[in-house]
Every structure is written in C-alpha cells, then in structure tokens.
Amino acid sequence: GLAVWLRPEYAEALVNLALVLSEDLGRHEEALVHARHAVALRPEHPKSHHLLGNILQHVGQGPEAHLRFKTAEALAAGQHASAPRGLFQWRATHVGERQTAGGAEGVGGAAGAAFELETVSVVPPVFRIRGFLSAKERAHIVAAALPSMEESRTVTDGEKTKEDKEKAKEDKEKAKEDKEKEKVNAS
C-alpha cells in the first residue's frame, strides 16, 4: 500500500497490492480496481493481465478472465496483434479508452450513425460497441444461430451460475418465440 501511495503510477506496486488483496485477504473487488489500473498503466505487461484474469475469475467474470489469460499468453510470447495487410484496424492503446467512429454513409450502426468503441483489451485488440445493433437485429442473429448453438466449456469449464442458466434459458425461449412470430408474419 505504501508504494502505491507514494507512486500511484507505479504499475508493479499496483500488481503486488492487487495480488495481496485478492489472494491473501480475499478482497477481490478492491483488488480488481488496482489490477485494472495496473493494466491501464502497462498494457504490454503479461503479469498484470494474468493477475487481472485470476481476480476476474474470483468475481465471476469468466469471459473477460479468459480474454486476459489469452492476452497475457500472447504478450509473454512476444506476439502483437495486427490486421492483415490492406485491411483497416482500429488501434487499441489502453483498456477503457473510448473512441468515436462511424458517421459516414454505410459506416457505423443504424444508417451510418456514429458509435463509440470502448477498448476492452489491447492485445488482442477487443472493443465493445454499445447500441451497434438494434434489438430486432440482435434477436434475428440469435434466432438464426440458435439451432446450431451449444454450451461452451472453454471459458467456464461448464460451471455456470444459476443466474447464467436462467438467462440462457430465457434467451433461448425468447429467440424461439421471435422465430415463430417471423414465420406467422411471413405467411
């Protein structure tokens, strides 16, 4: 704690503090704040991403934890993500960064509207775009994919919370209803 107090921008001290808070004291939520700050300060540091992944697992954030482990692995191997030659790629400089994009005809969400990219991971570059698809578009995609969807064991090793199972069941039922409505409307 003293090193962080003296030098709050010192990523290694933040990593050590997060490690003690999470692993020794079980204060995962508090550790999460420090681990995220460490990753933001040094996005190229594999140890920071790995620790963040461990803490995210403790707080039930399996998908993001998996992403952090993959990022740590790629960084440790010296890999850097880049788009194939000739393709445009949004740059991810730090986690939490927000960029406005779109707005041009045919680029962006609804009818070329501007949208916001939030950087979720730097390596590999992963962005969250809220409101990019309408509720109807999302329902259509889920309904189209539903027949071939299976439970993933990659991230959670098959362990799901009761809430996750209930939400998945609700989503599946909703998609089925939407598909049936589409059939009725099409006839």
Encode pLDDT of 104-160 as tens digits.
544 444 556 778 888 887 766 788 887 778 889 888 988 888 888 777 554 444 445
- In the block, tokens 């064991």 appear at 153
**DSSP helix/strand/coil, 117:** strand
Mean pLDDT over each residue of the chain, to the nearest integer: 77
Distance CA 58, CA 27 (A): 10
Distance CA 39, CA 52 (A): 8
The distance in angstroms from the start CA to the end CA of the chain is: 67
Strand ranges inside the chain, DSSP E: 98-102, 114-121, 126-129
**Interval 147-172: pLDDT, tens:** 887 775 544 444 455 666 677 778 77
Closest residue by Cα to residue 18 from 60, 61, 63, 50 = 50
32 secondary structure, DSSP code:
H
Residue 172 identity: K
User: Six-digit token pair at 72?
Assistant: 């740590």
